[in-house]
Structure 1
Amino acid sequence: MAVDMPGHGLKARRLAASTRRPHVPSDFSSEKSPVADVDLDRAATVLAEQARRAVANQSPRSLTAWAALR
């Protein structure tokens, strides 16, 4: 199972400074990180929700294999 964690994967946001031209290195130090609001609690909640959804959408055979790994 692969999950999209906040700040990573398909929903990732980048610093505007990384694609702005001309490139100004000091812009990186003044721009707020797009993942500044992501903490361990939020990341854990997202992971748990995605895991529950993935398990709910699996066949009984997959669920048995998943349970055996626990």
Structure 2
Amino acid sequence: MNGYIIWPKGDMRLYTCRVYKTLQEASDVAQERADFHHRPYEVRAVNETTQRIIKTIEPRRRK
């Protein structure tokens, strides 16, 4: 199974999560959640790779 999931950074709880087909789609959703919850989210690879966490999305600063 290939794909990407998003996860709150540093959170170790279990979640039911959606698998996104593209990195762009996962990044967009992670940015929305990071902005809404005011905390960083990670985009992770579903399959076992040497680099499981692909990128960390930080919430945008409000003006």
TM-score in terms of structure 1 length: 0.30
Higher strand content, 1 or 2: 2
- Bigger Rg, which one: 1
Higher helix content, 1 or 2: 1
